Amino acid sequence: MVTLEQFIADRQQEFEGATGAFSKILRDIGLGAKLISFYLRRASLSGILGELGLTNIQGETVQKLDHLANNLFLRLLSQNPHVAGVASEEEEHLIATNSQGKYVVLFDPLDGSSNIDVGVPVGTIFSIYKRVSPIGTPCTEADFLQGGRAQLAAGYVLYGTSTLLFYTTGRGVHGFTLEPAAGEFLLTYPQVQMPPRSTYYSFNDNQLHEWVPALQRYVQDLHSRNQATSKPQSLRYVGSLVADFHRNLLKGGIFLYPGTTKKPEGKLRLLYEGYPMAWLTEQAGGKATNGVKPLLDVPPTSIHQRTPLFLGPADEIDRITAFLTENVPVETL
């Protein structure tokens, strides 16, 4: 029975500096997760479901629990001496906090908001970088725009049938389950590897007609492969990236959120959805791209920039790339 804090303490050397900063930042994220889990599970009893009546920088209506989760993480992280600043899906601009802090944190406080009121799992996504601006000065945008491969840690919380926290620091993906009786996250999924065979495929079918023809051909190819096998891939899509990703991580599955003719850049945000999930995917033995290049190599230009996102086992991701670069696999023709 290993707690999250003990697990991190035993691996201090994995997080540069071994100053205990990472464990303190992850402890705050874990505390936020415990509190959000508590609020979520009784939201319909305490009248905090539904919309707040505001629209955020994404142009989306803000759910009361989006607002609650955002404020919770802002409070927890801004009082952490190791954090120099944060960027949130719910905040238009980055927020400089402790100028003596050495790290910056990006987060999607509540992912899958459309599912909050209907009992479908939602999540939190986080990504941690070491700042590049001088300590003692306010953090700058450059601290947040270092690119996916500069991440020091990344992970998610899934508020599902149980509350799970999965993260990586570049040495594998490790998963923990909240034990409410103890208020502790306990190690339950050490060194997670994504099965190489895809058993699920996840995408929003209502946009298929707006995809590029090459991707439509990939889906046709997937359907015809399904008809030719005794183990067809099943469509599973709940509309929460964290929930769809977590199922595919454990069981093997492909997640697609491409751009469309109307929105070529797609919907999902590169810095606090794409990069963390892409790193977790690679660390678990899968591949993550924007369709044609590794997502972690897609250069960041702004905090809320969007990206097409493909996550899954290497063979399916390679097949998508082949279609998109017109190197269609011969056996498909």
Q: Which residues bind ligand AHG (CB under 6 A)?
A: 60, 89, 108, 111-114, 204, 239-241, 267
Q: Among Mn ion, ligand AHG, none, what does residue 64 contact (CB within 5–8 Å per kind)?
A: none
- Which is closer to ligand AHG, CB of 101 or CB of 109? 109
Label residue 172 left, alpha or beta by phi (over 0 means left) and psi (-120 to 50 means alpha). left
The minimum distance between CB 204 and ligand AHG, in angstroms, equals 4
316: contact with Mn ion by CB under 5 A: no
89: contact with Mn ion by CB under 5 A: yes
Q: Which of 28, 108, 143, 282 binds Mn ion (CB under 5 A)?
A: 108
The minimum distance between CB 30 and ligand AHG, in angstroms, equals 20
How many residues touch Mn ion under the rule CB under 5 A: the total is 4
Amino acid at the residue 151: Q
Q: Among ligand AHG, Mn ion, none, what does residue 204 contact (CB within 5–8 Å per kind)?
A: ligand AHG
244: contact with Mn ion by CB under 5 A: no
129 burial level (CB within 10 Å; 0-12, 13-18, 19+): buried
- Which is closer to ligand AHG, CB of 14 or CB of 60? 60
Q: Among Mn ion, ligand AHG, none, what does residue 267 contact (CB within 5–8 Å per kind)?
A: ligand AHG
Asked whether 295 and 278 are in contact (CB, 8 A), the reply is: yes
Q: Which of 28, 111, 244, 316 binds Mn ion (CB under 5 A)?
A: 111
The minimum distance between CB 16 and ligand AHG, in angstroms, equals 29
The minimum distance between CB 24 and ligand AHG, in angstroms, equals 26
- Which is closer to Mn ion, CB of 57 or CB of 135? 57
